[in-house]
């Protein structure tokens, strides 16, 4: 299974310069679905799910988000603010002629997905029809998840210090990253080496960390501009895995307090990277959810 060849999609800038993203698009006339990866991944995180969704008749669009994969990696923390990331995704949809679409995200892709859904509440023409969040719950639920969640999010504080993680993580053949974030992968799984190869490129590690530096308030561990908005009324699926190293079930389960039509699913025996560590379960959940 492989994603279709990537195309280069240039998104016009808002207050910052335009950006060019690498985007995989299965094409076709089926209902569009956008899949958003997280840290420190690229579009291929979703390969199995994209293949299954395309086979089921969906048009699947999977971008490398800014700073990752083959997309541009602009210098400067200000280029990674959530408003710019949201603009990227909507700009990709516009460039591909997509109006309404279903959405799924994992890790930072899930955080970005929540921002897109929350922004859609006040849009003149709402575009997101349903949303599947993998691992990361509603930002208000995350903020209310208690001390255990904050303790598990320790790395968000560490990432705030420019140059520190950049020095520690690559040392001794990325020993820290392998022992911390990648410990749940079985020997020989290709994702850890893909992540390390990507992060080893000039400027890539800093670009990836800028997502945290631009969007996380060290005092609360949530976005600094968290809006107060009405409940989300589109269907939302929240998927959490019991082997997650960074996230509690509470921050996902409590998303139901902010969504009128929320469904929680737990995957047992998988670590944080659900689309790769439990690919069949993730695929089955997505197919059932999108089918309504």
> Could you tell me the domains of the chain?
6-291 (3.40.50.1820)
Average pLDDT over residues 142-155: 91
Predicted pLDDT at 16: 67
Give yes or no for residue 62 having a pLDDT over 60: yes
Average pLDDT over residues 163-169: 96
The CA-based angle 44-72-214, given to 5 degrees, is 95
146-184 burial by CB neighbour count: b if 16+ within 10 A, else e?
Answer: eeebbebbeebeebeeeeebeeebbeeebeebbeebbeb
Partners of 267 in the β-ladder:
241
Average pLDDT over residues 208-235: 81
pLDDT band at 175 (very low <50, low <70, confident <90, very high): very high
Average pLDDT over residues 122-150: 93
Predicted pLDDT at 144: 87
Average pLDDT over residues 263-268: 98
What is the pTM assigned to this prediction? 0.96
pLDDT tens-digit profile of 88-119?
A: 999 999 999 999 999 999 999 999 999 999 99
| Mean per-residue pLDDT of the chain | 94
By the 8 A CB rule, do 241 and 275 touch? no
Predicted pLDDT at 133: 98
Give yes or no for residue 227 having a pLDDT over 70: no
Predicted pLDDT at 122: 87
d(CA 145, CA 252): 9
Give yes or no for residue 2 having a pLDDT over 90: no
């Amino acid at each position: 299974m492989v994603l279709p060849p990537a195309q280069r999609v240039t998104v016009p800038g808002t207050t910052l310069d335009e950006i060019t993203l690498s985007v995989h698009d299965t094409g076709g006339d089926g209902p569009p679905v956008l899949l958003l990866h997280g840290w420190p991944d690229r579009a291929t995180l979703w390969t199995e799910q994209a293949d299954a969704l395309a086979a089921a008749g969906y048009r699947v669009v999977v971008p490398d988000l800014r700073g990752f994969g083959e997309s541009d990696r602009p210098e400067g923390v200000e280029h990674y603010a959530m408003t710019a990331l949201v603009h990227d995704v909507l700009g990709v949809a516009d460039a591909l002629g997509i109006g309404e679409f279903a959405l799924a995200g994992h890790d930072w892709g899930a955080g970005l997905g929540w921002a897109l859904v929350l922004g859609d509440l006040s849009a003149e023409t709402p575009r997101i029809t349903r949303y599947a969040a993998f691992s990361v719950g509603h930002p208000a639920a995350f903020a209310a998840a208690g001390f255990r969640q904050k303790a598990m999010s320790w790395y968000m504080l560490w990432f705030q210090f420019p140059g520190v993680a950049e020095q520690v993580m690559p040392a001794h053949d990325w020993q820290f990253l392998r022992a911390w974030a990648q410990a749940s992968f079985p020997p020989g799984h290709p994702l850890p080496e893909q992540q390390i190869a990507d992060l080893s490129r000039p400027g890539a590690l800093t670009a990836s960390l800028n997502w945290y530096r631009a969007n996380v308030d060290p005092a609360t561990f949530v976005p600094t501009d968290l809006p107060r908005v009405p409940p989300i009324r589109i269907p939302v699926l929240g998927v959490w895995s019991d082997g997650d190293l960074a996230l509690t079930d509470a921050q996902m389960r409590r998303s139901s307090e902010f969504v009128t039509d929320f469904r929680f699913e737990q995957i047992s025996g998988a670590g944080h990277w659900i689309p790769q560590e439990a690919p069949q379960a993730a695929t089955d959940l997505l197919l059932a959810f999108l089918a309504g």
